[in-house]
Amino acid sequence: MSSNSLLLITGGLFLIILIVGNCGAKRKWDYEPLSIDTYSSDESKLKFVAKVERVARGEFAIGGTIDFKYTPDSNTMVEAVAHRSSSGAERDYKLIPFNIPKQPFPDFMNSHYKDVIIPNVAECSNLIKFEGKFDGVWPQKVYTLDKCVADSDGFPEMVTEGFYRINFTLTNPVDWGFVLIVKISNKMM
């Protein structure tokens, strides 16, 4: 993948999204989410449940609920890191340059959330939508994601085969997030 690519596989904000330079090309690879594990250091503040569902041959959807009982603010930090393993073995995972640099929640809302998450989950979730600048208020409620499917438009033509592990985390005042493992393989032509 080109260095300007960002592989952002969010489960919580939950789907497979790739922001890439070479949009519109025909995808030559398949992906299979193998697992999604959610975590929360305090379920009285944030409870997160997610699952991967196979909806058709080679097609997967992600569903889940995120119960927000706290209000993230500028002290809340958002970060995502990705590792890749060619074999799937734990010892082979190496850090790759697809990430969301650690940043305050409002910055995340005005960048990745607005540009990538809103367009992709608008139809399958009740996650908040906004235009212009984020007003700073993330309402406390139960957010649901129902059969969110990765859209193949905007994916890069080629992706290195292997196992990708993405860890998406929010910290302060509760540490929560998910670890998603996705297998990428070349398409049988």
Ligand X SMILES: *[C@@H]1O[C@H](CO)[C@@H](O)[C@H](O)[C@H]1NC(C)=O
Residue nearest to ligand X (CB): 167
With respect to ligand X, which residue has the nearer C-beta, 76 or 169? 169
With respect to ligand X, which residue has the nearer C-beta, 47 or 114? 47
- Check residue 179 for interaction with ligand X (CB under 6 A): yes
- Check residue 96 for interaction with ligand X (CB under 6 A): no
On whether the CB atoms of residues 77 and 171 are closer than 8 A, the answer is yes
| Residue 131 Cα to chain centre, angstroms | 21
β-sheet bridge partners, residue 96: 82
With respect to ligand X, which residue has the nearer C-beta, 27 or 102? 102
* Residues of span 111-170 touching ligand X by CB under 6 A: 167, 169
CB 94 to ligand X: min, Å: 13
To the nearest 10°, the Cα dihedral for 101, 115, 5, 181?
70
Size of the site for ligand X (CB under 6 A): 3
CB 93 to ligand X: min, Å: 9
Q: Where are the beta strands (DSSP E) in 134-175?
A: 142-149, 162-171
